[in-house]
Amino acid sequence: MSGFDQRSYYDMLKDSMSVALVKAVLNKELAESKETRLKATRNGGEVNARQETEELADFIEFLATDLYQYLPKDLTEVTYDMKLADESGRVGSIEMAEGFLNNLPATYIDAIVDAKLLTDEEDVKRMTTMVMEDYLAAATAPPQKWMETRPLECELCTRQVRLTYHHLIPRSTHARVLKKKIHPEYMINRVGSEPIKVHHVEENMELAKNWYTIELLEQRDDIQRWIAYISKRPGRTRVK
Protein backbone atom coordinates (compact mmCIF):
# COMPACT_ATOMS: atom_id res chain seq x y z
CA MET A 1 0.00 0.00 0.00
CA SER A 2 1.31 3.45 -0.94
CA GLY A 3 2.53 5.74 1.82
CA PHE A 4 1.26 8.86 0.04
CA ASP A 5 -1.47 9.83 -2.37
CA GLN A 6 -0.51 10.60 -5.96
CA ARG A 7 -0.65 14.35 -5.38
CA SER A 8 1.97 14.01 -2.65
CA TYR A 9 4.31 12.06 -4.93
CA TYR A 10 3.85 14.72 -7.61
CA ASP A 11 4.60 17.51 -5.11
CA MET A 12 7.76 15.72 -3.99
CA LEU A 13 8.93 15.49 -7.60
CA LYS A 14 8.18 19.17 -8.18
CA ASP A 15 10.03 20.20 -5.03
CA SER A 16 12.97 18.01 -6.00
CA MET A 17 13.15 19.74 -9.37
CA SER A 18 13.21 23.25 -7.93
CA VAL A 19 16.85 23.59 -6.84
CA ALA A 20 18.15 21.89 -10.00
CA LEU A 21 16.19 24.29 -12.21
CA VAL A 22 17.15 27.35 -10.15
CA LYS A 23 20.81 26.36 -10.49
CA ALA A 24 20.41 25.91 -14.25
CA VAL A 25 18.77 29.35 -14.54
CA LEU A 26 21.61 30.98 -12.58
CA ASN A 27 24.22 29.27 -14.75
CA LYS A 28 22.44 30.58 -17.83
CA GLU A 29 22.41 34.11 -16.43
CA LEU A 30 26.12 33.94 -15.61
CA ALA A 31 26.81 32.85 -19.18
CA GLU A 32 24.96 35.84 -20.60
CA SER A 33 26.79 39.11 -21.08
CA LYS A 34 26.39 41.82 -18.46
CA GLU A 35 25.00 44.07 -21.18
CA THR A 36 22.24 41.60 -22.03
CA ARG A 37 21.22 41.27 -18.39
CA LEU A 38 21.13 45.07 -18.00
CA LYS A 39 18.78 45.37 -20.98
CA ALA A 40 16.57 42.61 -19.61
CA THR A 41 16.20 44.26 -16.19
CA ARG A 42 16.38 47.96 -17.07
CA ASN A 43 12.68 48.63 -16.57
CA GLY A 44 11.67 47.94 -12.97
CA GLY A 45 14.11 45.53 -11.37
CA GLU A 46 11.77 44.40 -8.60
CA VAL A 47 8.87 43.80 -10.96
CA ASN A 48 11.12 41.83 -13.29
CA ALA A 49 12.52 39.75 -10.43
CA ARG A 50 9.00 38.92 -9.28
CA GLN A 51 7.95 38.09 -12.83
CA GLU A 52 11.01 35.87 -13.30
CA THR A 53 10.18 33.99 -10.10
CA GLU A 54 6.61 33.41 -11.29
CA GLU A 55 7.79 32.29 -14.72
CA LEU A 56 10.29 29.90 -13.15
CA ALA A 57 7.57 28.45 -10.91
CA ASP A 58 5.37 27.91 -13.98
CA PHE A 59 8.25 26.25 -15.86
CA ILE A 60 9.04 23.94 -12.93
CA GLU A 61 5.38 22.95 -12.74
CA PHE A 62 5.26 22.27 -16.48
CA LEU A 63 8.38 20.08 -16.37
CA ALA A 64 7.27 18.22 -13.24
CA THR A 65 3.85 17.52 -14.75
CA ASP A 66 5.39 16.28 -17.98
CA LEU A 67 7.92 14.08 -16.20
CA TYR A 68 5.51 12.68 -13.62
CA GLN A 69 3.07 11.29 -16.18
CA TYR A 70 5.84 9.07 -17.55
CA LEU A 71 7.11 7.77 -14.19
CA PRO A 72 6.80 3.96 -13.90
CA LYS A 73 4.29 2.76 -11.32
CA ASP A 74 6.96 1.51 -8.92
CA LEU A 75 8.38 5.04 -8.68
CA THR A 76 5.00 6.50 -7.74
CA GLU A 77 4.23 3.90 -5.07
CA VAL A 78 7.61 3.46 -3.36
CA THR A 79 7.51 3.80 0.45
CA TYR A 80 9.71 3.69 3.52
CA ASP A 81 8.30 0.25 4.46
CA MET A 82 9.26 -1.12 1.04
CA LYS A 83 12.77 0.25 1.49
CA LEU A 84 13.08 -1.41 4.91
CA ALA A 85 11.85 -4.75 3.57
CA ASP A 86 14.21 -4.72 0.58
CA GLU A 87 17.43 -6.59 1.34
CA SER A 88 19.00 -5.77 -2.02
CA GLY A 89 19.25 -2.03 -1.33
CA ARG A 90 17.61 -1.24 -4.66
CA VAL A 91 14.38 0.28 -3.32
CA GLY A 92 14.83 4.00 -2.80
CA SER A 93 18.16 4.07 -4.66
CA ILE A 94 18.80 5.68 -8.03
CA GLU A 95 19.02 2.15 -9.48
CA MET A 96 15.21 2.09 -9.38
CA ALA A 97 15.11 4.94 -11.88
CA GLU A 98 17.85 3.83 -14.29
CA GLY A 99 15.49 2.56 -16.98
CA PHE A 100 13.40 5.71 -16.77
CA LEU A 101 16.46 7.98 -16.92
CA ASN A 102 17.63 6.22 -20.07
CA ASN A 103 14.28 6.96 -21.76
CA LEU A 104 13.32 10.48 -20.69
CA PRO A 105 10.36 11.95 -22.59
CA ALA A 106 11.39 14.01 -25.61
CA THR A 107 9.02 16.85 -24.66
CA TYR A 108 10.78 17.20 -21.30
CA ILE A 109 14.28 17.19 -22.82
CA ASP A 110 13.33 19.59 -25.61
CA ALA A 111 11.73 22.08 -23.21
CA ILE A 112 14.93 22.35 -21.14
CA VAL A 113 17.27 22.48 -24.15
CA ASP A 114 15.06 24.96 -26.04
CA ALA A 115 15.08 27.23 -22.98
CA LYS A 116 18.90 27.09 -23.22
CA LEU A 117 19.17 25.97 -19.60
CA LEU A 118 21.20 22.91 -20.58
CA THR A 119 22.95 22.09 -23.83
CA ASP A 120 21.91 18.54 -24.70
CA GLU A 121 20.19 15.31 -23.71
CA GLU A 122 23.14 14.10 -21.61
CA ASP A 123 23.11 17.29 -19.54
CA VAL A 124 19.37 16.89 -18.99
CA LYS A 125 19.88 13.28 -17.90
CA ARG A 126 22.56 14.31 -15.39
CA MET A 127 20.32 16.97 -13.89
CA THR A 128 17.32 14.63 -13.79
CA THR A 129 19.41 11.97 -12.06
CA MET A 130 19.92 14.40 -9.17
CA VAL A 131 16.22 15.24 -9.20
CA MET A 132 15.29 11.57 -8.98
CA GLU A 133 17.80 10.92 -6.19
CA ASP A 134 16.15 13.68 -4.16
CA TYR A 135 12.66 12.47 -5.04
CA LEU A 136 13.37 8.88 -4.00
CA ALA A 137 15.00 10.00 -0.76
CA ALA A 138 11.91 12.06 0.07
CA ALA A 139 9.48 9.28 -0.91
CA THR A 140 11.28 6.71 1.26
CA ALA A 141 12.03 8.96 4.26
CA PRO A 142 10.92 7.73 7.72
CA PRO A 143 7.32 8.52 8.70
CA GLN A 144 6.79 11.78 10.57
CA LYS A 145 6.03 10.01 13.88
CA TRP A 146 9.62 8.74 13.85
CA MET A 147 10.85 12.31 13.71
CA GLU A 148 8.67 14.12 16.27
CA THR A 149 11.69 15.66 18.01
CA ARG A 150 12.94 17.22 14.79
CA PRO A 151 11.87 20.60 13.41
CA LEU A 152 8.88 20.55 11.07
CA GLU A 153 10.02 23.72 9.34
CA CYS A 154 12.92 24.12 6.96
CA GLU A 155 15.64 26.22 8.61
CA LEU A 156 16.22 28.02 5.30
CA CYS A 157 12.72 28.98 4.16
CA THR A 158 10.84 28.43 7.49
CA ARG A 159 8.11 26.53 5.67
CA GLN A 160 6.69 23.07 6.28
CA VAL A 161 8.33 21.14 3.47
CA ARG A 162 9.56 17.55 3.49
CA LEU A 163 12.91 17.58 5.31
CA THR A 164 16.01 15.54 5.96
CA TYR A 165 18.13 15.91 9.07
CA HIS A 166 21.74 15.87 7.97
CA HIS A 167 25.30 16.96 8.71
CA LEU A 168 26.02 20.50 7.53
CA ILE A 169 29.60 19.32 7.02
CA PRO A 170 28.92 16.15 4.96
CA ARG A 171 29.84 12.97 6.79
CA SER A 172 31.90 11.69 3.86
CA THR A 173 34.32 14.61 4.34
CA HIS A 174 34.83 14.34 8.12
CA ALA A 175 38.16 12.48 8.01
CA ARG A 176 39.68 14.87 5.46
CA VAL A 177 38.31 17.95 7.21
CA LEU A 178 39.90 16.90 10.51
CA LYS A 179 43.18 15.84 8.88
CA LYS A 180 43.52 19.16 7.03
CA LYS A 181 42.30 21.09 10.11
CA ILE A 182 39.62 22.86 8.07
CA HIS A 183 37.27 22.84 11.07
CA PRO A 184 37.70 21.91 14.74
CA GLU A 185 36.27 18.57 15.85
CA TYR A 186 33.41 20.14 17.81
CA MET A 187 31.91 21.48 14.55
CA ILE A 188 31.92 18.17 12.70
CA ASN A 189 28.56 16.89 13.91
CA ARG A 190 26.53 20.07 13.48
CA VAL A 191 23.24 19.23 11.79
CA GLY A 192 20.42 21.10 10.11
CA SER A 193 16.91 20.46 8.82
CA GLU A 194 16.61 21.23 5.12
CA PRO A 195 15.14 19.59 2.03
CA ILE A 196 17.51 16.94 0.69
CA LYS A 197 17.80 18.83 -2.60
CA VAL A 198 19.94 21.42 -0.78
CA HIS A 199 22.69 18.78 -0.51
CA HIS A 200 23.32 19.04 -4.25
CA VAL A 201 24.15 22.74 -4.52
CA GLU A 202 27.88 21.91 -4.39
CA GLU A 203 30.24 18.95 -4.14
CA ASN A 204 30.58 17.62 -0.58
CA MET A 205 34.09 18.98 0.01
CA GLU A 206 33.06 22.43 -1.21
CA LEU A 207 30.09 22.32 1.17
CA ALA A 208 32.43 21.33 4.00
CA LYS A 209 34.89 24.15 3.29
CA ASN A 210 32.64 27.07 2.42
CA TRP A 211 28.94 26.31 3.04
CA TYR A 212 28.90 24.63 6.44
CA THR A 213 26.24 26.71 8.24
CA ILE A 214 22.62 27.68 7.61
CA GLU A 215 23.70 31.33 7.50
CA LEU A 216 26.26 30.70 4.75
CA LEU A 217 23.79 28.65 2.70
CA GLU A 218 21.28 31.50 2.93
CA GLN A 219 23.75 33.81 1.17
CA ARG A 220 23.84 31.73 -2.03
CA ASP A 221 21.97 33.05 -5.06
CA ASP A 222 20.60 29.60 -5.91
CA ILE A 223 19.27 29.10 -2.38
CA GLN A 224 17.73 32.59 -2.41
CA ARG A 225 16.00 31.79 -5.71
CA TRP A 226 14.76 28.49 -4.31
CA ILE A 227 13.41 30.25 -1.19
CA ALA A 228 11.63 32.79 -3.43
CA TYR A 229 10.14 29.94 -5.48
CA ILE A 230 9.06 27.75 -2.56
CA SER A 231 7.49 30.70 -0.71
CA LYS A 232 4.97 31.04 -3.55
CA ARG A 233 3.92 27.39 -3.40
CA PRO A 234 0.29 26.97 -2.27
CA GLY A 235 -0.65 24.87 0.71
CA ARG A 236 2.52 25.44 2.74
CA THR A 237 2.14 27.61 5.82
CA ARG A 238 4.95 30.02 6.53
CA VAL A 239 5.87 30.13 10.20
CA LYS A 240 5.30 33.53 11.82
Q: Are residues 24 and 131 in the same domain?
A: yes
Is residue 224 included in any domain, yes or no?
no
Q: What is the mean pLDDT of the chain?
A: 78
Q: What is the pLDDT of residue 126?
A: 95
pLDDT digits (tens, 9 = 90+) for 217-226: 878 887 787 7
Q: Are residues 11 and 129 in the same domain?
A: yes
Q: Are residues 23 and 132 in the same domain?
A: yes
Q: How many domains does the chain have?
A: 2
Q: Which of 118, 117, 124 is nearest to 100 (CA)?
A: 124
Between CA 183 and CA 177 the distance in angstroms is: 6
Q: What is the pLDDT of residue 148?
A: 47
Domain membership of residue 168 as a residue range? 149-219
Burial of 101 (0-12, 13-18, 19+ CB in 10 A): middle
Is residue 163 included in any domain, yes or no?
yes
Between CA 238 and CA 154 the distance in angstroms is: 10
Is residue 233 included in any domain, yes or no?
no
Q: What is the pLDDT of residue 173?
A: 86
pLDDT digits (tens, 9 = 90+) for 21-46: 888 887 777 666 555 555 655 555 54
Q: Are residues 185 and 75 in the same domain?
A: no
Q: What is the pLDDT of residue 125?
A: 97
Q: What is the percentage of the chain residues whose pLDDT exceeds 90?
A: 31
Q: Are residues 126 and 208 in the same domain?
A: no
Is residue 38 included in any domain, yes or no?
yes
Q: What is the pLDDT of residue 119?
A: 92
Q: What is the percentage of the chain residues whose pLDDT exceeds 70?
A: 68
pLDDT digits (tens, 9 = 90+) for 162-204: 555 566 788 788 888 888 888 877 677 666 655 555 666 778 8
pLDDT band with cut points at 50, 70 and 90 for residue 128: very high
Alpha-carbon Rg for the chain in angstroms: 19
Q: Are residues 119 and 101 in the same domain?
A: yes
Is residue 62 included in any domain, yes or no?
yes
Q: Are residues 127 and 174 in the same domain?
A: no
Q: Are residues 209 and 163 in the same domain?
A: yes
Q: CA–CA distance from 184 to each of 156, 169, 190, 216 (Å)? A: 24, 11, 11, 18
Average pLDDT over residues 73-92: 92
Is residue 235 included in any domain, yes or no?
no
Task: State which amino acid sits at residue 71.
Answer: L
Task: State which amino acid sits at residue 37.
Answer: R
Is residue 101 included in any domain, yes or no?
yes
pLDDT digits (tens, 9 = 90+) for 85-122: 999 999 999 999 999 999 999 999 999 999 999 999 99
- Final residue belonging to a domain, choices 88, 122, 141: 141
Is residue 228 included in any domain, yes or no?
no
Element holding 193 (H helix, E strand): strand 191-194
Q: What is the pLDDT of residue 162?
A: 54
Q: Are residues 85 and 189 in the same domain?
A: no
Q: Are residues 101 and 162 in the same domain?
A: no
Q: Are residues 110 and 47 in the same domain?
A: yes
- Final residue belonging to a domain, choices 106, 125, 141: 141
